[in-house]
């Protein structure tokens, strides 16, 4: 059981502090996430080594009724024109929902239901997003700064990445003439 008496949350930066043993930190470089981009030809080593995103999450018990709390930091950039993004997932217990709250940066939250219908919500400082169960979700950074997003979700939800790895999202976003432009994938 986690004791949060020493944990703090900096609402400006998203930083979670507390006992190291109670905070999980993970990061993904572009080389870790290559498979999700449409075109990865011609990338140099410096690009492959860039940070795509990192997360900080409190290590709470993954029990029914529990809540998970974390911050995602999505870096700015494009891969052959496609904006940096998170892997995206459904929840493993599919009906589990989630809140996102943007602290800094600008981007899009791409949402997709089980029938592959997609829609987006604009993510910008203080925007609050409710992600219902059975909806896949992915963040896209369309700005030049780190997109920082607080997330709170059912701690037993789990992450189903495999469905997205196999089928992808039904839309991708590219920077065309400086603007986010959707390209439907079917
Ligand atoms: C978020 C995400 C986080 C990283 O905390 O896990 O933004 O994205 P991926 O998990 O898709 O790599 C969340 O949605 N948790 O459920
Ligand atoms: Zn989620």
Alpha-carbon gap, residue 142 to 120, rounded angstroms: 13
**Helix runs in the chain, H state only:** 30-33, 45-48, 162-167
Domain that holds residue 151: 4-184
CB-based contact 2:68 (threshold 8 Å): no
Q: Which of 177, 158, 149 is nearest to 70 (CA)?
A: 149
CATH code, domain carrying 125: 2.60.120.10
Q: What are phi and psi of 21, to 5 degrees?
A: -70, -15
Helix, strand, coil % over all residues of the chain, rounded to 5: 10, 45, 40
Q: Residues 131-162: pLDDT tens digits?
A: 999 999 999 999 999 999 999 999 999 999 99
- Give 48 Cα–ligand 2 centroid separation in angstroms: 25
Alpha-carbon gap, residue 87 to 35, rounded angstroms: 9
Q: What per-residue confidence (pLDDT) applies to 27?
A: 98
Q: Residues 29-87: pLDDT tens digits?
A: 999 999 999 999 999 999 999 999 999 999 999 999 999 999 999 999 999 999 999 99
CB-based contact 138:98 (threshold 8 Å): no
Task: Indicate which residue's Cα is closest to atom 1 of ligand 1.
Answer: 151
| Number of the ligand 1 atom closest to the C-alpha atom of 137 | 14
Q: Is 4 helix (H, G, I), strand (E, B) or coil?
A: helix
Q: What is the mean pLDDT of the chain?
A: 96
User: 177 in the Ramachandran plot: left (φ > 0), alpha (ψ -120 to 50) or beta?
Assistant: left
Q: What per-residue confidence (pLDDT) applies to 6?
A: 82
70 CB within 6 A, ligand 1: yes
| Number of the ligand 1 atom closest to the C-alpha atom of 138 | 11
Give the count of domains, the chain. 1
């Amino acid at each position: 059981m986690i004791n949060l008496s020493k944990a703090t949350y900096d609402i400006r930066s998203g930083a979670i502090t507390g006992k190291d043993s109670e905070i999980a930190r993970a990061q993904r470089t572009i080389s870790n996430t290559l498979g999700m981009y449409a075109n990865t030809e011609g990338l140099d080593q410096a690009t492959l080594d860039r940070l795509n995103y990192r997360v900080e999450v409190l290590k709470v018990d993954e029990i029914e009724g529990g809540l998970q709390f974390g911050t995602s930091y999505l870096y700015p950039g494009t891969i052959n024109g496609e904006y940096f993004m998170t892997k995206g997932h459904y929840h493993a217990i599919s009906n589990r929902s989630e809140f996102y709250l943007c602290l800094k940066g600008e981007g899009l939250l791409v949402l997709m239901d089980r029938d592959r219908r997609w829609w987006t919500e604009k993510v910008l400082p203080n925007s609050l997003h409710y992600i219902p169960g059975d909806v896949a979700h992915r963040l896209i950074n369309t700005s030049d700064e780190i997109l920082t997003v607080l997330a709170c979700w059912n701690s037993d939800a789990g992450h189903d990445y495999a469905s997205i790895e196999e089928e992808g999202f039904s839309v991708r976003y590219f920077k065309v003439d400086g603007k986010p432009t959707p390209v439907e994938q079917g």
